[in-house]
Chain A
Amino acid sequence: GENVEQHPSTLSVQEGDSAVIKCTYSDSASNYFPWYKQELGKGPQLIIDIRSNVGEKKDQRIAVTLNKTAKHFSLHITETQPEDSAVYFCAAGLKNFGNEKLTFGTGTRLTIIP
């Protein structure tokens, strides 16, 4: 089955600096790569996603890059703000009978230092 590794497990950055979280996956058939943000006591919320036919996607301060050959993808957050503090999860998705089966990474706890 699919295996997703995520690094680092914790990350602290000064407010205003950039943060980068990296993930690798094992199954070359995976074709959907979402990133979720989980705040304390809440469920994961989708913040950005990318599909395998795209190399990069950007949404305001958040960007995701995908290298299918190397089987890795990254989340970039620029101009970080205190409200960016949360746990971030990457995932790799594989269609299963028309539905997406997501395998999640182990999470990165991001702390923004004011």
Chain B
Amino acid sequence: DIVVTQAPDSLAVSLGERATINCKSSQSVLYSSSNKNYLAWYQQKPGQPPKLLIYWASTRESGVPDRFSGSGSGTDFTLTISSLQAEDVAVYYCQQYYSSPLTFGGGTKVEI
């Protein structure tokens, strides 16, 4: 199984400031023939299901504000919220879909 690790477990960011979340996979999730990283990011607010934010490591899902961006390749990835808004308070998860079983990181709680 590919183990996915996130850091930090939680972070507090001031409104308007940048939030950075890291995600590391135990093996590469870059599929060489397509040059795509099989890595997604989700946002989960209290009492709600997760919401897809980013797939292919850096492609924003339709309707996701452009203050959210994903980067990285291979085994190391980052989710950046460029200017934190109050509605961004949530837990963020990364997930690899390179191989089965699909696995999630442990989550990062973002607070104001």
A binds B: no
Q: Which residues of B contact A (CB under 8 A)?
A: none
